[in-house]
Amino acid sequence: MIRLHTFPASLKGTPNPSQFCAKLETALRLAGVQHEVWYEMDPSNGPKGKLPFIEMEGERIGDSTLILYRLKEKLGVDLDRGLDETEKAQSHMIQRLVEERLSWVLAYSRWIDDANWPVVRRALFGGMRFPLSVIVPSGARKSVRAALHAQGVERHSPEEIYDLGARDLSALSILLGEKDFFFGDKPTLADVSVFACLVNIIGPDLASPLKEAALGHDNLVRHTERMGELHAAKRQRRKIELTLAA
């Protein structure tokens, strides 16, 4: 059995406050991969110092993308099966846009934007006792700021950062068009990756220009709802199977 290590679902409105944890769990559910979920609070427990990671056959594997490559290699798990080579390349590029750029704008909106930080801080660190309740969140915020600075996003003005995010969202909206999913009537990895990011932008009760931009694209909102229903339905099915088997 694969053991998935993720953050707990601590932020109302999203299945997981980490888009990468949400991505991997959604991919496992959609592909019907049996797994058990272990909640972690400390990313440094992972082999790459980040969450999510999995344990499989005694090995700990980190990074949502590398994990999915490994599951394809070992178990034949492939949500992009059926796509032609051009579509596979497009799916790859959509994932990279969402995970290597839009994710940074999302992180900025939560961790650096003063309008949202108090809510995020309460959701992620609210259970801590003093003095950890002061030390841990401010240390975490400092390291996210340093990461955003090293990546480059944090060097821009807030207006520029949110404009970059809005342009990414417009591109995604145009690519999706009127289709149910990016490549037709079946969700692929591109849909999973976009859902995991968009549900984190739209779902939580956090206002930002990024959320406003996302809500301005009806097709992206409908896509997030559609994927959210699939995510929830797959969990119910798995629960019923477990109950019947018991």
Ligand X SMILES: N[C@@H](CCC(=O)N[C@@H](CS)C(=O)NCC(=O)O)C(=O)O
Give the interface with ligand X as residue ranges (CB under 6 A): 18, 20, 43, 49-52, 63-65
Q: Which residue has the tokens 């340093």?
A: 146
CB of 160 to ligand X, least distance (A): 22
Q: Which is nearer to ligand X, 21 or 230 (CB)?
A: 21
Query: Smallest gap, in angstroms, from Cβ of residue 119 to ligand X?
Result: 17
Comparison of 4 and 214: residue with beta carbon closer to ligand X: 4
Give whichever of 14 and 173 is closer to ligand X, judged by the CB atom: 14
Q: CA–CA separation, 30 vs 235, rounded Å?
A: 9
Q: CB of 124: closest distance to ligand X in angstroms?
A: 11
Q: Answer for the pair 111, 145: CB distance below 8 angstroms, yes or no.
A: yes
Of residues 18, 180, 167, 53, the one with CA closest to residue 102: 167
Sheet of 35-39: strand order equals 35-39, 2-6, 53-56, 59-62
Q: Report, in Å, the least distance between residue 175 CB and ligand X.
A: 21
Instruction: Please return the burial class of 243, using the count of CB atoms within 10 Å of its CB with bins 0-12, 13-18 and 19+.
Output: exposed
Residue closer to ligand X by CB (options 217, 231) is 231
